[in-house]
Amino acid sequence: MEGMDSVAVMEVAPVPDPLFVGATPLIPAPPESELVLRRSARCLGKPRVPVYAEPEEPKQSTGRRGRPKKKRDEENQDPAPQVAAKVPRKAAKVEPKERKPMPVVGPEPVPADFTGAAAEDDALGTGKSAKLRVKETLRAFNSHYLHLVQEEQKRAQAVIQEIAAKGAAKNKDGKKGGEGEAKEKRPSKRPDLKAVTKMQENNSFLYTEKVLGPIPGIDVGDQFYSRAEMVVLGIHSHWLNGIDYMGMKYQEKKEYENFTFPMATCIVMSGIYEDDLDKADEIIYTGQGGNDLLGNHRQIGSQQLNRGNLALKVVDDWVQKGVQGHVVYKYKLKRLEGQPSLTTTEVRFTRAEAPRKISELPGLVCDDISGGQENIPIPATNVVDDPPVPPSGFVYSKSLKISKGIKIPSDCAGCDCEGDCANNKNCSCAQLNGSDLPYVSFKNIGRLVEPKAVVFECGANCSCNRNCVNRTSQQGLQHRLEVFKTASKGWGVRTWDTILPGAPICEYVGVLKRTEEVDGLLHNNYIFDIDCLQTMKGLDGREKRAGSDMNMPSLHAENDSEAPPAPEYCIDAGSVGSFARFINHSCNPNLFVQCVLTNHHDVKLAKVMLFAADTILPLQELCYDYGYVLNSVVSADGEIVKLPCCCGAPDCRKRLY
């Protein structure tokens, strides 16, 4: 059963790789091949915004997270949106008629002021930066996707159970049946395609017009996890075709009167054409058609000079016999001058180079800051200080320490499932979560379907096994991470692995204390208030979470009041903590905070977990929104303490507090 589950997910899970060069809308194509999913993308467009644009050195100060008393400062809510550089794209022309061999055609100049319909950073007038809108669109897609995966897993489970039951009955009669039959019979569904359709129905695609030239919010070097993501952003509208283009109807539009159509807006290089040549800065691209699409890279037929193959305007093109002897059209593309360098030597394999060996890391100051406590070692590097020093002043602990006088209850009833609760549709822990389990399982790692008011996990009183998907936050470190010294935020944490939305990162651990114990403490930047009630209620600028209106009688009584009291407990990671204490704040974060309950139902003492909000690529820094209320940090002499934010996000609020 477990194997069957993961097959269902693997069939539908998009896996990284290709490239694009422009933008487009979508006509949702029917599912054509699983191979489409074996792709991701990187774009060639306008120059990249630096990842760490860190304005100034922050002052050391005091404060703690999640103590919302006032509304956020208006002035810091809404920073001026960035305007994207207008970088006109060069284009070259290919005549739309059969030629053998095709002549070399020079570039057709694009009018100097032409930057495409969506070139302004806030062309949609949302008041949000284009980067943020890209992120929000991807989050919406991933949210649909995870819900649909959950739906599909449940459906598959039901089919398996039904067929297994039939099989058992048949076996009784001496006939064949059971799981093997289920594997054969269960039709494959594509949650990613369904998610795209949902977004199209809701008009939630980011860009719905095809664009020539740079696309706001998309930079050279950006990576996408799947074709579906590119479709909902409006970068490339096809599931399968490598070339997306503007057809002849654009010829009639005034703004395009100087152009020759069809004209390509975006290509995807997926690695399935054996005749492609990929040198990152120069690509020899094979036109579309004639591939058997089985992932074995084989060309089984000749290509036609039509549709997308007519639309590419490139520095050179020709027709030749491919490796299998079939006619293929070839296009030479070169990167525009002045674009930032790429992190890989091939376009289609886009994973940034994560270091292979800890010992070879530049600036290595510690092989494993956890001293062997975590599942995976966490090295620390420092290329900022001279001499380089390791992080110090704390004792590593991967679990929460409890202050004297605080008792964590362990009184709640558990479920009586066998094995994994995902296989029991009547699991009592699933009921606590609203009916479905909060997680779906991918390759035996749980992913949280959506941020929730609170997550009820299986705990000590449950009879399911230790690997049950509803114990996802208890499985320890799942990804290779590095603690590194940043230029202006002190230490930070980055990943070496691709982390997918909803994946667990860590628990925020330290010493569990009463907040009154730490009130007035100066110079402790590592205190985390347990403020689930605020999160659940969606107070002080926070987003209201799914499940916050649910009738959860087991939750603490304060949950019912409109204005919950200030948090009673906090986690102090000042002197004891894990790598979580090094995770910095960002106004545009890639992690989110999630309260989790396991052995009791007192939200005042909930576990504080961090989960991935987005696809986080290798070498990206992990960060979450500390959620400080501006002007809420006050010094002993009554002065408001301010800390500038150095997160570098286009929508940065400029201050942490």
Ligand X SMILES: C[S@@+](CC[C@H](N)C(=O)[O-])C[C@H]1O[C@@H](n2cnc3c(N)ncnc32)[C@H](O)[C@@H]1O
Q: Which residues bind ligand X (CB under 6 A)?
A: 58, 489-492, 525-526, 581-582, 584-586, 645-647, 656
Chain residue whose CB lies nearest ligand X: 490
The alpha helices in 37-104, defined as continuous H runs, are 74-77
Give min distance, CB of 359 to ligand X, in A.
24
Give min distance, CB of 383 to ligand X, in A.
15
CA distance 118 to 121: 8
Give min distance, CB of 58 to ligand X, in A.
4
Q: What are phi and psi of 225, to 5 degrees?
A: -80, -25
- Which residue has tokens 């949702």? 28
Q: Which two tokens stand for residue 429?
A: 């822990």
What is the Rg, in whole angstroms, of the alpha carbon atoms belonging to the chain? 27
Q: Which is nearer to ligand X, 355 or 490 (CB)?
A: 490
The CA-atom distances, in angstroms, between 185 and each of 32, 163, 294, 593 are 19, 9, 21, 40
DSSP state of 536: H
CA distance 41 to 236: 10
| C-alpha dihedral (143, 145, 148, 153), degrees to nearest 10 | -110
Give min distance, CB of 65 to ligand X, in A.
8
Q: Which is nearer to ligand X, 442 or 628 (CB)?
A: 628
Q: Which is nearer to ligand X, 447 or 653 (CB)?
A: 653
Judge contact between 24 and 211, C-beta under 8 A. Answer: yes
Give min distance, CB of 300 to ligand X, in A.
53
The alpha helices in 374-454, defined as continuous H runs, are 428-432
Q: Which is nearer to ligand X, 96 or 490 (CB)?
A: 490
Write out the H or E segment, with its range, that includes residue 318.
strand 316-321
Q: Which is nearer to ligand X, 79 or 247 (CB)?
A: 79
Q: Which is nearer to ligand X, 288 or 586 (CB)?
A: 586
381: β partners = 364, 484
**Cis before 553 (ω within 30):** no
Q: Which is nearer to ligand X, 58 or 618 (CB)?
A: 58
CB neighbour list of residue 163: distance below 8 Å, 6 or more residues apart: 177, 178, 179, 181, 182, 185, 186
Q: Which is nearer to ligand X, 58 or 271 (CB)?
A: 58
Q: What are phi and psi of 501, to 5 degrees?
A: -55, 135
Q: Which two tokens stand for residue 266?
A: 């975006």
Give min distance, CB of 230 to ligand X, in A.
30
Give min distance, CB of 68 to ligand X, in A.
17
Q: Which is nearer to ligand X, 62 or 237 (CB)?
A: 62
Helix axes 2-12, 130-172, angle to 10 degrees: 140
Question: Which segments within 212-288 are labelled E, that is strand?
Answer: 223-224, 243-246, 263-267, 277-278, 282-286
DSSP state of 366: E
Give min distance, CB of 584 to ligand X, in A.
3
Give min distance, CB of 646 to ligand X, in A.
4
Give min distance, CB of 654 to ligand X, in A.
10
Q: Which is nearer to ligand X, 491 or 496 (CB)?
A: 491
Give min distance, CB of 585 to ligand X, in A.
4
CA distance 264 to 246: 6
Give min distance, CB of 60 to ligand X, in A.
7
Q: What are phi and psi of 536, to 5 degrees?
A: -60, -40
Q: Which is nearer to ligand X, 359 or 392 (CB)?
A: 392
Collapse the DSSP code of 461 into the 3-class scheme (helix H, G, I; strand E, B; otherwise coil) and give the result. coil
| C-alpha dihedral (299, 301, 304, 310), degrees to nearest 10 | -10
Q: Which is nearer to ligand X, 308 or 589 (CB)?
A: 589
CA distance 57 to 60: 9
**How buried is residue 50: exposed, middle or buried, by Cβ count under 10 Å (0-12/13-18/19+)?**
exposed
Biggest alpha carbon distance in the chain?
A: 85
Give min distance, CB of 452 to ligand X, in A.
24
Q: Which is nearer to ligand X, 547 or 648 (CB)?
A: 648
Collapse the DSSP code of 88 into the 3-class scheme (helix H, G, I; strand E, B; otherwise coil) and give the result. coil
Give min distance, CB of 655 to ligand X, in A.
9
Q: Which is nearer to ligand X, 464 or 576 (CB)?
A: 576
Residue-level length of the chain: 657
CA distance 2 to 50: 43
